[in-house]
C-alpha cells in the first residue's frame, strides 16, 4: 500500500534516502545505458563520485533531443523484455519519444498517484471519474492505477463525449473529477446546456493539470463546477502525472521528493538557482528502473519553496508552472507567457474562460491579437457596451504587459473547445 509517512519525514532522513537512491540511479545508468556511460565518462566521473546531494551538479543534463536521438529504446536501463508498459509523447513538435516502465515502476507510479489523490481530498469511498485521455498519453492510465491502488472506484471514461460525462456524473454520483482544467470548463458549459446544475451534484474535488492554468482560472473552475480544484503536475518523460500536487493549502505543489530530485536552473547558463528564484525545472528520477533520467530539463518555468507547510508534508513545493521556455512568446522584444494574459483576463468581470492568442507579423512588426469570446448573455444584452468592454480588456492587458496588443471579441462558441490540452496560442510567424 502507499506510504504517506515518507511525506512527513524529517528533511535529514529524506536527504539520506535521496542520496542512497541517487547513487543507485547513477550506477544503474552508468552500467546499463550507453548514452549515460559516455556522458559520465566525458565528465570524468562515475557513480562513486556522488558523495552528497550537492554532487548532483557534477552530473550531465538530459534533454528532449537526447531522448529523440535514442528513439525508441536507447534510454532504457533494462532489456525490453522487462518493460511492461510503454507510453509515448504525441510527437507534434518533432520525432516522438517513448518511455518504458518495469512492473516495479508501475507499482511506484500507482503509489505516487494514490498519494496524489489523497492530497486532492480523495479516499477509498470516492467515485472518481477519469476524463484524461487513455492511451499513449499518461493521464488516463496514470490516474486509473492510482485510483485502484487507493481502493476507490474508477470510472474510466477517458476524454470526449462530454454529454455522457455529465450524465455519468449525475447517474453515478461522481465525487472526484480528473481532467484538464480547460476540459472542466467545457464540461461546465455543456452541463448548463443540458440543464444540469453542479450544485445538485456530489462532486467535491477536481484534480486538474497537464496544461498551464492560473489561480484566477481556478477560481472560475471552482465556481462553475462547485468543487475544490487541485493542480497536479507531471510529464511523461519523468513518469506521467503524480510528480507533484497541491495539498489543501494550495500554496504550491508538493514534489514527491522520495522519487524525484528537483532543481531549478538558469536556462541560459545552466547554473543551479537558489530556492525562490524562477527558472527551468530539472528532475532526476531516483526510484525508477525502466527509464531513469538524470537532470532532465523539463523546459517548464517555476521556482521552489521550502517554507513549512501547515499540512505537515515536508517535501519541497514548486510554484504553479508559469509556462514553458518554448511557449514563451517574444512580441516586439517583450517576453510574454500566455498564463500572464490569462491571469489578467480572468480578473475582469464577465470575461469568458475561452480565449486564444493569435500572433502574426505584419510589415515586420509582431502583432498579438487576444481573441476573447463573448458570453451568450453579453452578446444579446450588451451589444452597445461591447466596444467599451473591449477597450477595457485591452487597457488592462497593455498596462500589465507594457506592450500594445489587439483585442478582438469573438462570437459565443467560436473558439475551439478542448477535451484535453487546450491550444491557447496560434503563432503564424513561424509559417
Please identify which residue in 235, 344, 370, 397 interacts with ligand DLL, judged by CB under 6 A: 235
Segment contacting ligand DLL by CB under 6 A, of 151-159, 228-236, 363-371, 392-400? 228-236
Query: Is residue 240 at the binding interface for ligand DLL, with CB under 6 A as the rule?
Result: yes
Task: Tell me the closest approach of the beta carbon of residue 421 to ligand DLL, in angstroms.
Answer: 7
Task: Tell me the closest approach of the beta carbon of residue 47 to ligand DLL, in angstroms.
Answer: 27
Query: Is residue 2 at the binding interface for ligand DLL, with CB under 6 A as the rule?
Result: no
Site for ligand DLL in 295-324 (CB under 6 A): 298, 300, 321, 324
- b/e burial code for range 77-116 (CB count within 10 A of at least 16 → b): bbeeebbebbbbbeeeeeeebbbbbbeebbebbbbbbbbb
Q: At what angle do helices 11-32 and 34-43 cross, to 10 degrees?
A: 110
Other beta carbons less than 10 A from residue 37's beta carbon: 14
Do the beta carbons of residue 237 and residue 64 sit within 8 Å?
yes
Closer CB to ligand DLL, residue 355 or residue 389? 355
Query: Is residue 418 at the binding interface for ligand DLL, with CB under 6 A as the rule?
Result: no
Please identify which residue in 206, 241, 292, 353 interacts with ligand DLL, judged by CB under 6 A: 241
- Grid cell, residue 58, equals 557534477
Q: Minimal CA–CA distance to 413: which of 363, 350, 353? A: 353
Q: Map grid coordinates 517554507 to a residue.
A: 307
Please identify which residue in 230, 233, 256, 337 interacts with ligand DLL, judged by CB under 6 A: 233
- Grid cell, residue 81, equals 523484455
Segment contacting ligand DLL by CB under 6 A, of 11-19, 152-160, 187-195, 231-239? 231-239
Query: Is residue 236 at the binding interface for ligand DLL, with CB under 6 A as the rule?
Result: yes
Other beta carbons less than 10 A from residue 307's beta carbon: 10
What is the Cα–Cα distance from 243 to 405, expressed in whole angstroms? 36
Q: How far apart are the first and last CA of the chain?
A: 51
Please identify which residue in 232, 329, 359, 405 interacts with ligand DLL, judged by CB under 6 A: 232
**How many residues belong to the chain?**
431
Query: Is residue 407 at the binding interface for ligand DLL, with CB under 6 A as the rule?
Result: no
Site for ligand DLL in 167-226 (CB under 6 A): 209-212
User: Interface with ligand DLL by CB under 6 A: which residues?
Assistant: 89, 132, 137-139, 209-212, 231-236, 240-241, 298, 300, 321, 324
Amino acid at each position: 500500500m502507499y506510504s504517506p509517512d515518507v511525506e512527513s519525514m524529517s528533511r535529514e532522513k529524506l536527504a539520506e534516502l535521496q542520496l542512497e537512491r541517487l547513487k543507485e540511479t547513477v550506477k544503474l545508468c552508468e552500467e546499463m545505458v550507453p548514452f549515460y556511460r559516455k556522458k559520465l565518462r566525458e565528465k570524468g566521473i562515475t557513480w562513486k563520485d556522488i558523495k552528497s546531494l550537492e554532487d548532483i551538479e557534477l552530473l550531465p543534463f538530459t534533454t528532449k533531443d537526447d531522448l529523440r536521438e535514442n528513439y525508441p529504446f536507447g534510454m532504457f536501463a533494462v532489456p525490453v523484455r522487462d518493460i511492461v508498459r510503454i507510453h509515448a509523447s504525441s510527437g507534434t513538435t518533432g520525432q516522438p519519444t517513448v518511455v518504458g516502465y518495469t512492473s516495479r515502476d508501475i507499482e511506484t507510479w500507482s503509489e505516487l498517484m494514490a498519494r496524489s489523490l489523497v492530497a486532492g481530498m480523495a479516499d477509498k469511498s470516492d467515485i472518481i471519474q477519469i476524463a484524461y485521455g487513455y492511451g499513449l498519453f499518461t493521464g488516463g492510465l496514470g490516474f486509473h492505477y492510482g485510483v485502484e491502488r487507493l481502493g476507490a472506484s474508477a470510472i474510466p471514461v477517458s476524454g470526449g463525449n462530454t454529454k455522457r460525462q455529465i450524465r455519468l456524473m449525475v447517474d453515478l454520483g461522481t465525487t472526484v473529477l480528473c481532467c484538464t482544467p480547460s476540459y472542466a470548463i467545457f464540461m461546465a458549459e455543456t452541463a448548463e446546456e443540458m440543464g444540469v446544475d453542479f450544485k445538485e451534484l456530489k462532486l467535491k474535488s477536481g484534480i486538474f493539470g497537464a496544461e498551464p492554468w492560473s489561480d484566477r482560472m481556478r477560481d472560475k473552475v471552482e465556481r462553475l463546477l462547485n468543487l475544490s480544484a487541485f493542480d497536479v503536475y507531471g510529464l511523461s518523460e519523468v513518469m506521467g502525472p503524480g510528480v507533484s500536487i497541491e495539498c489543501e493549502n494550495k500554496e504550491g505543489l508538493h514534489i514527491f521528493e522520495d522519487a524525484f530530485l528537483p532543481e531549478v536552473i538558469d536556462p541560459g547558463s545552466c547554473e543551479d538557482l537558489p530556492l525562490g528564484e524562477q527558472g527551468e525545472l530539472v528532475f532526476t528520477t531516483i526510484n525508477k528502473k525502466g527509464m531513469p533520467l538524470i537532470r532532465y530539463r523539463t523546459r517548464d518555468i517555476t521556482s521552489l519553496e521550502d517554507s513549512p507547510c501547515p499540512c505537515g508534508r515536508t517535501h519541497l513545493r514548486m510554484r504553479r508552472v508559469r509556462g514553458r521556455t518554448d511557449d514563451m512568446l517574444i512580441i516586439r522584444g517583450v517576453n510574454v507567457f500566455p498564463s500572464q494574459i490569462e491571469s489578467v483576463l480572468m480578473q475582469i468581470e464577465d470575461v469568458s474562460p475561452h480565449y486564444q492568442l493569435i500572433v502574426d507579423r505584419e510589415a515586420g512588426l509582431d502583432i498579438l491579437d487576444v481573441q476573447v469570446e463573448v458570453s451568450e448573455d453579453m452578446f444579446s444584452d450588451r451589444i452597445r457596451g461591447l466596444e467599451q468592454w473591449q477597450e477595457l480588456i485591452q487597457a488592462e492587458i497593455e498596462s500589465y504587459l507594457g506592450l500594445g496588443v489587439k483585442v478582438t471579441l469573438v462570437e459565443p462558441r467560436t473558439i475551439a473547445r478542448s477535451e484535453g490540452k487546450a491550444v491557447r496560442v496560434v503563432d503564424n510567424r513561424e509559417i
